[in-house]
């Protein structure tokens, strides 16, 4: 079974495994499919799972964790690192703690290891897209973060952080936070390298987690610009690796952690085999020159509202 390196994050006792299994699929995979994939991932060595209220995968992950404990695949819940996220329809101070408790109930857990604000925006109601413009409003950063801090102080979550926050949002958050965010989960891969944001986060002691590390191949929000790329394929071939492994290894060498999704037994195992070899300086140089294109946008989820477009432009 693969051994995955871990990292101790600021303010969080349990080290976080540097690669986690993502659980987002669209349309959401049914409960049994996701549960089976998580159990398979645990057998392969994954101990870190990334979910969100919005993915509809919390229940399946919770069932898989319960089953893994029953089967003895893991000795204790404490052996797992579980991340979930506060959806934008709950980013109002009065809704945060209840939303966190709802996620815990979905997951059948007493705590999660990491709780993230999913996007720096608020939807006044829970609606399916297209979202009417009047329902999209700016995040009450202070009010919401105070409630995130309360979730931690109540023991509902061990660590708190953010997702899809630009340098501007992080500046604002750091100026008011009593507990600074442990991490920022953002889109990052060889085609969206996030240099500026990573430099900023490093300076401020905020860890970066890369989502869509493979460009979200074959999903509604992604394409094959990574897995179909000749430069990456040409790097992979002579060293006996796959294009996916080159992309994941590159991320690891940048000092970030990774949330990557595969529900396929072979591919999820392949994605863990990135820790005992390295890319050459020439390979790194070629990757640094790849054209940059952002894949994931909030506008594709909520619609092209001015505030939403502003958030996308900043990221």
Closest CA to 191 of 275, 129, 251, 253: 251
Give the nearest distance from C-beta 251 to ligand NDP in angstroms. Answer: 10
Give the nearest distance from C-beta 180 to ligand NDP in angstroms. Answer: 19
Chain contacts with ligand NDP (rule: CB under 6 A): 22-24, 50, 118, 163-164, 185, 211-219, 222, 227, 242, 244, 259-264, 267, 270-271, 296
- Beta-carbon contacts of 219 under 8 Å, excluding residues fewer than 6 positions away, are 24, 25, 26
Give the nearest distance from C-beta 72 to ligand NDP in angstroms. Answer: 26
- Contact (Cβ atoms closer than 8 angstroms) between residue 272 and residue 222: no
Nearest residue (beta carbon) to ligand NDP: 22
Of 145 and 263, the one with the shorter C-beta distance to ligand NDP is 263
- Contact (Cβ atoms closer than 8 angstroms) between residue 46 and residue 285: no
Distance between CA atoms of residues 106 and 114, nearest Å: 15
Of 200 and 215, the one with the shorter C-beta distance to ligand NDP is 215
Distance between CA atoms of residues 205 and 199, nearest Å: 10
Whether residue 55 lies in the annotated active site: yes
Interior angle at CA 143, CA 152 and CA 176, nearest 5: 80
In angstroms, the Cα distances linking 181 to 106, 159, 178 are 24, 8, 9
Give the nearest distance from C-beta 163 to ligand NDP in angstroms. Answer: 4
Q: Which of 55, 115, 211, 252 is catalytic?
A: 55
* Burial call 124-142: b when 16+ CB within 10 Å, e when fewer: eeeeeeebeeebbbebebe
Residue 302 φ then ψ, to 5°: -100, -15
Closest CA to 96 of 58, 151, 152: 151
Residues annotated as part of the active site: 55
């Amino acid at each position: 079974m693969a051994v995955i390196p871990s990292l101790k994050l600021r303010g969080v006792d349990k080290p976080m495994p540097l690669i986690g299994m993502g659980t987002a699929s669209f349309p959401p995979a049914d409960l049994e499919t996701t549960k089976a994939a998580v159990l398979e991932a645990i057998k392969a060595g994954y101990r870190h799972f990334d979910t969100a209220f919005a993915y509809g995968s919390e229940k399946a992950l919770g069932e898989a964790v319960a089953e893994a404990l029953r089967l003895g695949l893991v000795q204790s819940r404490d052996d797992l690192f579980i991340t979930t996220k506060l959806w934008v329809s709950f980013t109002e101070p009065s809704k945060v703690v209840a939303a966190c408790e709802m996620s815990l109930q979905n997951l059948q857990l007493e705590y999660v290891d990491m709780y993230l604000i999913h996007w720096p925006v608020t939807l006044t109601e829970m609606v399916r897209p297209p979202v009417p413009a009047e329902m999209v409003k700016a995040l009450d950063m202070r009010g919401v973060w105070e409630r995130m801090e309360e979730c931690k102080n109540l023991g509902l979550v061990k660590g708190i952080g953010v997702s899809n926050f630009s340098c501007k949002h992080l500046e604002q958050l750091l100026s008011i936070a009593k507990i600074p965010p442990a991490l920022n989960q953002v889109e990052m891969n060889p085609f969206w390298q996030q240099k500026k944001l990573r430099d900023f986060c490093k300076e401020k002691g905020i860890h970066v987690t890369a989502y869509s590390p493979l460009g979200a191949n074959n999903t509604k929000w992604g394409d094959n610009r990574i897995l179909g790329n000749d430069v990456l394929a040409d790097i992979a071939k002579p060293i006996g690796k796959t294009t996916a492994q080159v992309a994941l290894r590159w991320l690891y060498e940048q000092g970030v952690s990774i949330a990557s999704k595969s529900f396929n037994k072979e591919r999820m195992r392949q994605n863990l085999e990135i820790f005992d070899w390295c890319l050459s300086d020439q390979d790194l140089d070629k990757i640094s020159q790849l054209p940059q294109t952002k894949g994931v946008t909030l506008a594709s989820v909520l619609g092209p509202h001015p505030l939403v477009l502003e958030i996308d432009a900043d990221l």
